[in-house]
Amino acid sequence: MSAFGGFDLFELFRAEIVAHGASLNDGLLRLEQNPADVHPIESLMRAAHSIKGASRVIGLDLAVDLAHHMEDCLVNIQKKVEVCGPERVEQLLGGTDILTQLGTLQEADLPTWKSTNAVDINALITALSAPPQAMPASVKVAKPVDVVEPFVPAAEIIQPATESLVAPTNPSTAALSATKSVAGSSEQPIQPSDKSGNTAKSVAAAAAPEVRTVRVNAENLDRMMRLAGESMVEGKRFPQIRRGLREMKSQLRFARDSFESAVKRRDAAEISSSLARLASIESSLTSHAEFLENVFRRTEEVGTKLYHEVIGSRMRPFGDVTAGHPRMIRDLAKKLGKKVRFDIEGAHVAVDRDVLARLEAPLNHMLRNAIDHGVEGPEDRLAAGKGETAHLRLQARHHAGMLEVRIRDDGRGIDPERVRTKVIEKRLQSADIAAGLNKTELLEFLFLPGFSTASQVTEVSGRGVGLDVVSQTVREIGGTVRLESQPGQGSEFILSLPITLSVIRAVTVMVGGEGYAFPLARIERIVKVDSASLKSMEGRLTFELDERSIGLLRASELFGISQTTESNSSSVVNVVVLGDIDNPCGLVVDQFMGEQDLVVRKLDPRLGKTPFVSSAAIDDEGHAILIMDVEDLLIGIRRGLSEGGVRGLDIASLRRNSSGRKRVLVVDDSITVREVERQMLARLGYEVETAVDGVDGFTQLKAGRFDLLVTDVDMPRMNGIEFVKALRREPRFATLPVAIVSYKDRAEDRAAGMEAGANAYLTKGSFQDQSFIQTITDLIGEAQT
Amino acid sequence: MTQLPPEDLANKKIGLTQLLARPILPSNLANNTNELAQERSQSLREEDTILLFRIGGERFALPANSVINVFPCTLVRKVPHRTRPPFRGLCCHEGAILLTGLLHVVLDMDMDKNADAKLRRMIVIGSEDASWAFEVDAVDCIRKVDPSKFRNAPSTIPKNSSSCTNCIIPMDDGDAVLLNPIAIQTIMEKAIQ
């Protein structure tokens, strides 16, 4: 239980600290760039004042004192009592860092925060109270974790790359783990370890919020409430309609009875009166129908609006994720002795909060790399004929239904020839092939894991470090990333991402009578292929698409479910083409159902990781539908094919019904027996499929159409007797002819087989004479239908 | 009020003292304790309300407070590579996607093939965060019952994790088997592990 009267109060405090901390950071950076501009000071004062007030409510006197002195300082600057110099900005930023730590703490960590920061806060208060020139040397100014150590060769940066990807960009969160990044620095961290050295770790661990809270725009919430209210009001009109209909029903019954009675009595006046009543009822019914239609239309409209508002409530401005970037860029550039102008465009662009959360680390990484490796120092830039201040731009916009994020610098760019050399050195391609790669293809190598590990070429390796993780993160949220670069002119990363993860546009298909959804963005093509145009290659079916040969696999086999008989007999194969241009796969489905927007729901965690499924949704008909994990699917397809766990689609399985020949399934765990039976039957002209045991046999029977089953008795997993019994329990197999062929020839064995539901029981000696062939022919006749 | 003579009063006092000082038999003590502990009129509590339903012609009951929802049958989607009974798939109700099991498989019974399809219902048990839905042939009613009349399940019913039978509820219109919802959920969850 909260010491402050409830968890919510502390949650609000934290939210306020985060919001005002961001304002302080932003305003102080603007003030530093232009000390003469006093416009940001007003908002800075408000932010400091608000933090002071909130801290007072929580009872955090240390924070109150610090915020108070920061506010005093800002008042002096506004009144031009003092000029805002770099030292003062450092002090104010240091104070901001300490205060913003509060935004990530749990309530229980406050005593630790106080004891850890008391000395530094008091020193900072002294410094803020004194004229800027009199800043004591002992003041410890916080610095964010994103400030990297002095420039090190690329190879040394490689190892921490992944770590840096998960480092927080927010200065407040960064400060929590500052001990690590500033270790070895002459400055002391703002968050030192206690005697046991555990403070930073414990505070960082505690920083993980226990309860997830979501901020929703107040106007958005108001609109949702209005629509919810309206929806309820609309719902209340239905009882009125029901009452009216019931009334009309009784009127109708009365009118009908009167009419029938009048007809019997041949009472013309009464007939006329009944007819008038019926006309009145008809008129009433018409007006009711109109009323009902209005209510329906209105209900649908309100429902749709409410749906869009709810979805919209998940959207946040892109600026939410960039709040810490100006400070990070500023600190990093200063540390590396570079001059950088950083612009953000499209901070207002609305993006799903989940996309923003996933985007934070890749953006942070690419920006830091741009400053660290892409942008030259002032001397180098002047020598290259550029201005001494580099320009780094982060741009977000909605483009073609996607969020497009561009990170562009005007630095040294990437030399494709150096990349080509690396490709050959690392034996990723032969020299011949590498020589033919164009610039775009070469830059793709930078996204490969560890591509730059052995490289000492700064601009190349710097760009390669962690880019594989960037690429992977972007792919995971259904986006793409590409790099464009001109040597000497700069580089640009272009990320194309879904605007929301909550709603996806999906293609729905049927497989084995079940609906599945494929995210549209992850599908390369959907095509209907004429089975006559299929080609066989090493026993696998392929088809030609855009001069590429694409292998086919049955979705039902991958998913472990039965395929409908209709799909087997179709002369057209429905194919979903997945994968990239170089390595596409075709997944055969039963039917294409169409496109629809799906609101993505997480799968119940009790299901664990379900193969090939990423999430669930509710389709247009209100039924659950599974959304496929295309990445997982591609891995599964490739692994299955390479390990033989998944069979490619074979011609026979597709064309089995077009031949007009009868089909026999042979089930036996002995490959020799299977082969003997298969050959004997094939010689007679039957189409033969084989299975290795009862379970396999049952699966194949369900997946296809067969005219006869020939099965052994002794088999693993499911023996022949169990198999036949299970078969006979299914109505569709109740009449399927079944022949058991076994070594067991005792009378009780035969009796058991026949009782299970077999039509014939043969011993394997029947292969020697004609009894096997004769029995098959007796059961299903000649091979050709 | 009649005044007793002093000698009678003394005798009475002796008699009462002897009565109070007499040794109490353990059986008397137990009876009296039970008498005091038991409520005179058995008031029915929330947990004594059951939901009665049918599967395969048999009558079953679940504590009503374990039931989250009852709704008409809806389509159940199979989940790839999660096909081991009694797990059935996923169904949707009121915007929630629910794990769905096969209670008749847990009970080793068949659904009644002749049951009226219109009467089939899905019952949801568990909690909002961890629920299970399953189909039954029909839901009869919600009824208050007297727990003191419950009978033990036959000794042939195992008392282990594979059983979800709690006890038998005798009722005028036929007995019902009271099921243990926790055990049902445990068995169903094993199918997806």
**Per-position DSSP letters for A530-551, written without gaps between them:** EGGG-EEETTEEEEEETTEEEE
Distance from CA of A267 to the nearest CA of B (A): 45
Q: Which of A372, A405, A475 is nearest to A158 (CA)?
A: A372
Chain A residues close to B95, C-beta within 8 Å: 618
Delineate the domains of chain B, giving CATH numbers in brackets: 6-37 (no CATH), 46-190 (2.40.50.180)
Can you tell me the mean pLDDT for A127-150? 49
- pLDDT, residue B134, reads 94
Phi and psi at A54, nearest 5°, equal -65, -40
Chain B residues close to A636, C-beta within 8 Å: none
Q: Which of residues 31-60 of B touch A (CB under 8 A)?
A: none
Q: What confidence tier does A201 reach under pLDDT thresholds 50, 70, 90? A: very low
Least confident of A271-275, A373-377, A418-422, B14-18: B14-18
Taking an 8 Å cut-off on Cβ atoms, the answer to whether A625 and B77 are in contact is: yes
Residue A114 CB contacts under 8 Å (≥ 6 apart), including other chains: A60, A62
Which among B79, B97, B193 has CB closest to A601?
B97
Q: How would you label A624-656 residue by residue, b for 16+ Cβ within 10 Å and e otherwise?
A: bbbbbbbbebbebbeebbeeeebebbbeebbbb
Cα nearest neighbour of A619 on chain B: B92
CA distance A584 to A6: 55
Q: Which residue has the higher pLDDT, A162 or A578?
A: A578
- pLDDT, residue A193, reads 37
Which among A512, A606, A611 has CB closest to B192?
A606
Per-residue pLDDT tens digits for B24-43: 777 777 777 766 654 444 44
Q: How would you label A257-266 residue by residue, b for 16+ Cβ within 10 Å and e otherwise?
A: ebbeebeeee
Are residues A741 and A714 in contact, defined by beta-carbon separation less than 8 angstroms? no
Beta bridge partners of A491: A409, A485
Can you tell me the mean pLDDT for A140-148? 39
**CATH number given to A503-651:** 2.40.50.180
Q: How many CB pairs under 8 A join A and B?
A: 63
Taking an 8 Å cut-off on Cβ atoms, the answer to whether A559 and B81 are in contact is: yes
Are residues B110 and B56 in contact, defined by beta-carbon separation less than 8 angstroms? yes
CA distance A385 to A381: 6
Taking an 8 Å cut-off on Cβ atoms, the answer to whether A607 and B74 are in contact is: no
Chain A residues close to B78, C-beta within 8 Å: 512, 514, 561
- pLDDT, residue B132, reads 94
CA distance A555 to A508: 13
Mean pLDDT is highest, among A43-57, B25-39, B114-128, for: B114-128
Which among B77, B78, B83 has CB closest to A623?
B77
Distance from CA of B97 to the nearest CA of A (A): 6
Q: Which alpha helices (DSSP H) does A340-457 contain, by range? A: 353-369, 378-383, 416-425, 431-435, 439-444
CA distance B191 to B189: 5
- pLDDT, residue A344, reads 92
**CATH number given to A319-498:** 3.30.565.10
Parallel, antiparallel or unpaired: strands A540-545 and A535-537:
antiparallel
Q: What percent of chain A has pLDDT over 70?
A: 80
Can you tell me the mean pLDDT for A365-373? 86
Per-residue pLDDT tens digits for A102-121: 888 887 888 888 888 888 88
Which among A560, A601, A626 has CB closest to B77?
A626
The conformational region for residue B149 under phi > 0 = left, psi -120 to 50 = alpha, else beta, is: alpha
Per-residue pLDDT tens digits for A279-288: 888 888 888 8
* DSSP letter, residue B155: T
CA distance A253 to A259: 10
Q: Which of A609, A626, A698, A702 is the best residue to mutate to test the B interface, defined by the most B CB atoms within 10 Å of its own CB?
A: A626
Residue A244 CB contacts under 8 Å (≥ 6 apart), including other chains: A284, A288
Cα nearest neighbour of B191 on chain A: A607
Are residues A158 and A451 in contact, defined by beta-carbon separation less than 8 angstroms? no
Taking an 8 Å cut-off on Cβ atoms, the answer to whether A515 and B91 are in contact is: no
Taking an 8 Å cut-off on Cβ atoms, the answer to whether A611 and B83 are in contact is: no
Taking an 8 Å cut-off on Cβ atoms, the answer to whether B77 and A514 are in contact is: yes
- pLDDT, residue A609, reads 75
Q: Which residue has the higher pLDDT, B11 or B159?
A: B11
- pLDDT, residue A182, reads 31
Chain A residues close to B99, C-beta within 8 Å: 604, 606-607
CATH topology of domain A659-780: Rossmann fold (3.40.50)
Q: What confidence tier does B3 reach under pLDDT thresholds 50, 70, 90? A: low
Residue A222 CB contacts under 8 Å (≥ 6 apart), including other chains: none
Per-residue pLDDT tens digits for A322-351: 888 888 888 888 888 999 999 999 988 888
Are residues A627 and A615 in contact, defined by beta-carbon separation less than 8 angstroms? yes
- Is residue A623 classed exposed, middle or buried when 0-12, 13-18 and 19+ CB atoms within 10 A define those classes? middle
Its ipTM equals 0.71
- Chain center to CA of A499: 11
- pLDDT, residue B99, reads 94
Taking an 8 Å cut-off on Cβ atoms, the answer to whether B99 and A604 are in contact is: yes
- pLDDT, residue A424, reads 85
Taking an 8 Å cut-off on Cβ atoms, the answer to whether A559 and B193 are in contact is: no
- pLDDT, residue A218, reads 79
Are residues A563 and A554 in contact, defined by beta-carbon separation less than 8 angstroms? yes
> Does A460 have pLDDT greater than 60?
no
- pLDDT, residue A569, reads 53
Per-residue pLDDT tens digits for A708-721: 999 988 887 788 99
Tokens of B85: 């009974």
> Does A158 have pLDDT greater than 80?
no
Q: Which of A361, A277, A292 is nearest to A321 (CA)?
A: A361
Q: What confidence tier does A650 reach under pLDDT thresholds 50, 70, 90? A: very low
> Does A591 have pLDDT greater than 50?
yes
Q: What confidence tier does A232 reach under pLDDT thresholds 50, 70, 90? A: confident
One-character DSSP codes across A150-199: SP--HHHHHTTHHHHHHS--SHHHHHHTHHHHTTTSSSPPSS---TTS-H
- Amino acid identity, residue A710? V
> Does A15 have pLDDT greater than 70?
yes
Distance from CA of A626 to the nearest CA of B (A): 8
Cα nearest neighbour of B97 on chain A: A624
How far CA B142 is from CA of B8, B70, B93, B103, in Å, comes to: 62, 11, 21, 19
CA distance A64 to A196: 29
> Does A162 have pLDDT greater than 80?
no
Q: Which residue has the higher pLDDT, A140 or A661?
A: A661
Q: Which residue has the higher pLDDT, A394 or A419?
A: A394
Q: What confidence tier does A239 reach under pLDDT thresholds 50, 70, 90? A: confident
Cα nearest neighbour of A510 on chain B: B77
Q: State the residue for tokens 């464009």.
A: A484
For chain A, give the mean pLDDT.
76
Q: Which of A783, A771, A779 is nearest to A659 (CA)?
A: A783
- pLDDT, residue A72, reads 85
- pLDDT, residue A4, reads 38
Per-residue pLDDT tens digits for B57-103: 889 999 988 899 999 998 999 888 887 788 999 998 877 889 999 99
> Does A192 have pLDDT greater than 60?
no
Chain B residues close to A626, C-beta within 8 Å: 77, 79-80, 90
> Does A306 have pLDDT greater than 70?
yes
Cα nearest neighbour of B82 on chain A: A610
Can you tell me the mean pLDDT for A668-691? 82
- pLDDT, residue A703, reads 67
- pLDDT, residue A698, reads 84
* Helix, strand, or coil (residue A116): helix
Chain B residues close to A608, C-beta within 8 Å: 192-193
Can you tell me the mean pLDDT for A286-296? 86
Beta bridge partners of A588: A554, A575
**CATH number given to A7-142:** 1.20.120.160
Q: Which residue has the higher pLDDT, B90 or B158?
A: B90
Q: What confidence tier does A54 reach under pLDDT thresholds 50, 70, 90? A: confident
Distance from CA of B170 to the nearest CA of A (A): 35
Parallel, antiparallel or unpaired: strands B131-136 and A760-763:
unpaired
The strand ranges marked E within A475-611 are 480-486, 490-498, 503-511, 514-519, 523-530, 535-537, 540-545, 548-554, 572-578, 585-589, 591-599
- pLDDT, residue A769, reads 64
Can you tell me the mean pLDDT for A237-265? 87
- pLDDT, residue A138, reads 42
**From chain A, which residues contact B within 8 Å (Cβ)?**
512, 514-515, 558-561, 601, 603-604, 606-608, 610-613, 616, 618, 622-626
Taking an 8 Å cut-off on Cβ atoms, the answer to whether B75 and A606 are in contact is: no
The strand ranges marked E within B23-157 are 49-55, 58-63, 67-72, 76-77, 87-93, 96-101, 121-126, 131-136, 138-144, 151-152
Taking an 8 Å cut-off on Cβ atoms, the answer to whether B82 and A559 are in contact is: no
Are residues A107 and A17 in contact, defined by beta-carbon separation less than 8 angstroms? no
Chain A residues close to B79, C-beta within 8 Å: 607, 610, 613, 626
Q: State the residue for tokens 């068995």.
A: B187
CA distance A681 to B115: 44
